[in-house]
Structure 1
């Protein structure tokens, strides 16, 4: 009987299965739940095959589904948490099936009956379906949770800016403060903050709904000059000098709106985190068939190993927590849509250099 053979050779078959899964998972991490998952399913499979000796029919099929559902759901959920793909979830069960078949062929003179193999495949189908269903459900829940969190941040930031603007406006209207004093600057800052939030949200909508950009030939110096002009007020408020070093002949093929948005966000961040009276550099140069734009700040440097963390949604470094924490995430996507690369280099105890690597105008028009 197949169930007797599987019980007697349990450890050897599961060891063979583990080797197959390790090759599929490559360097992916595991967990206690993942390690327990297939052995639990294996033991359930033995019980189903043992019970099937005297039972048959649709009613028994339903009982098989209920037996495997809980363990399969746990495996699907754990796979998502560990960053596995749907393919790896499916292949995990496939590896067990292969291990059983291979081990029977190599170590047993008896063959399983067609009914036993049908039951084996039926159990695998049920387990895969339940695991994938749970995996997909978890993905949807994560996406919905991220969206709620994003909307919450957006509403919170807009409310803060609107509250500042309303208070400043009320003080000016009632004549309690002058129209040209520090309160008017608070009003201007609040309006600018709301504009930035809305502009960035519109860029994100474009990135989500448009698979291609609206490309055109642009001079890099014109892009930088526009960004520098809009950043002047914030820089002057902190007595920060913005130094531009861009070769005037450089041209790129880009979606102008997306690159302006990304560049503006990087320059605004550089000003935000640079100390009072510091310097922010904007450089542009040709490197082979590419154009390299660099924004260097004087933020004091990053904690070790934190560079890539900056690009994660809702990640914020430093003591200034104003903003949504999604600007760099959006900027990287905007640059990527232009066949570019956005990266960061840390200068310990001094600052950061954010680099936008784009194709020169002489290169072919970016395609998806």
Structure 2
């Protein structure tokens, strides 16, 4: 039996052909797109590679440049080190020569000085000894001269004062206000002033030679202040000045030289009377300040400028240069006497209101000290 195979229909063939053509077209499009993408990727890779190569090349060039500069610096450093080494060798050599010369010069100078110094020292010692001897002789002659002059002047003053007292006694029997009585009073006043000047000059000489004598002993500052005020009361009243002691206690025992402290108080009170106008007031105070005795003399005089408060204690110095009322030795002597007792002295003042002079003396005795002394 024979089997017949049926032939494909034309429509199917057409469809297969159409599908094949579309597949080919799609394959070509994909191939084209793949080619474009690959081309673009290759270009990007090439560009990236070129940029990377450029960066690497610049970095390599910079590194090479630094290496070359480092090599040059190293070469320069080696050259400097070599030059410095050479210079150091030269300097060490020159320094060694200079040190050797300096050592020789020093040795020579030392040798010369070792010979000259004893000669110069001996010459200087002889000169100093001669000058010291001359100075001691001059001081001794001055002291002898002052001693003789003061002794003779005191003798003359004693005769003058005695004659004035006799004249005053004769005149008092007739008339105290007679011319002889007034003259006798004036003579005694001038004689007392001259005696004080002589004593001041002798004291200054003793102070300058370091021979100011003080003999501290137990005494009562209260009695000393009262005695001083009473002594100068007539002179103060004559000038219309009120003077009074201001003491809180009836006794102020302390260790001091009675005569020297009286001299200090007298100088301070005399200065206060001298510079206080009529109608003024002077106060002499005494009190204990711890273990010290504090004494002050206040006045209502013209006062002292603040820049002169330290100067008033200098020798021959006076506040009013045109108004010379003495030698300017009183406060200098006061300072020396107070310091010889271990105390201190100073002044406080306001121009137009008056001045206050203070001094302290160590060794004030309290109540317990007085009881122990009494026992």
With structure 2 as the length reference, what TM-score do the two structures score?
0.54
Specify the alignment match of 1:330 in structure 2. Answer: 333
CA contact (8 A) 2:168 2:185 kept: no
| In structure 2, distance between residues paired with 1:291 and 1:130 | 49
SS at match of 2:327: coil
Q: CA deviation at 1:120?
A: 3.5
Q: Does 1:357 align with 2:353?
A: no
| In structure 2, distance between residues paired with 1:150 and 1:308 | 29
Pick from 276, 284, 291 the counterpart of residue 293 of structure 2. 291
Specify the alignment match of 2:187 in structure 1. Answer: 187
Specify the alignment match of 1:132 in structure 2. Answer: 128
CA contact (8 A) 2:203 2:212 kept: no
Say how many residue pairs are matched: 260
* Cα 1:214–1:123 shift into 2, 3 Å: closer
Pick from 260, 268, 274 the counterpart of residue 266 of structure 1. 268
Q: Does 1:116 align with 2:92?
A: no
CA contact (8 A) 1:295 1:354 kept: yes
| In structure 2, distance between residues paired with 1:211 and 1:184 | 34
Pick from 255, 258, 267 the counterpart of residue 256 of structure 1. 258
Specify the alignment match of 2:83 in structure 1. Answer: none
CA contact (8 A) 2:283 2:297 kept: yes
CA contact (8 A) 1:172 1:178 kept: no
| In structure 2, distance between residues paired with 1:135 and 1:145 | 15
1:195-237, Cα deviation, whole Å (9 max, x unpaired): 4345556766887786763322222210101111111121111
Higher relative contact order (CA 8 A, sep 6+): 1
Pick from 344, 347, 357 the counterpart of residue 344 of structure 1. 347
Specify the alignment match of 1:89 in structure 2. Answer: none
| In structure 2, distance between residues paired with 1:359 and 1:350 | 30
Map 1:1-368; keep pairs closer than 5 Å. 108-110=102-104, 111-113=106-108, 115-122=111-118, 124-126=120-122, 128-129=124-125, 132=128, 136=132, 139=135, 143=139, 179-181=176-178, 182-197=182-197, 200=200, 213-248=214-249, 249-318=251-320, 319-362=322-365
With structure 1 as the length reference, what TM-score do the two structures score?
0.55
| In structure 1, distance between residues paired with 2:246 and 2:226 | 11
* Cα 1:279–1:145 shift into 2, 3 Å: farther
| In structure 1, distance between residues paired with 2:336 and 2:247 | 24
CA contact (8 A) 2:264 2:337 kept: yes
1:168-207, Cα deviation, whole Å (9 max, x unpaired): 89998998x9543544442342243244345556766887
| In structure 2, distance between residues paired with 1:107 and 1:210 | 58
Specify the alignment match of 2:30 in structure 1. Answer: none
CA contact (8 A) 2:150 2:198 kept: no
Of 355-364 and 196-205, the range deviating more from structure 2: 196-205
| In structure 2, distance between residues paired with 1:309 and 1:127 | 40
Of 145-154 and 243-252, the range deviating more from structure 2: 145-154
Q: CA deviation at 1:339?
A: 1.9
Consecutive unaligned residues of structure 2, counting only runs of 5 or more, are: 1-98, 370-375
| In structure 1, distance between residues paired with 2:306 and 2:137 | 33
SS at match of 1:112: helix
* Cα 1:212–1:141 shift into 2, 3 Å: closer
CA contact (8 A) 2:167 2:184 kept: no
| In structure 1, distance between residues paired with 2:149 and 2:306 | 27
* RMSD (CA atoms): 4.6
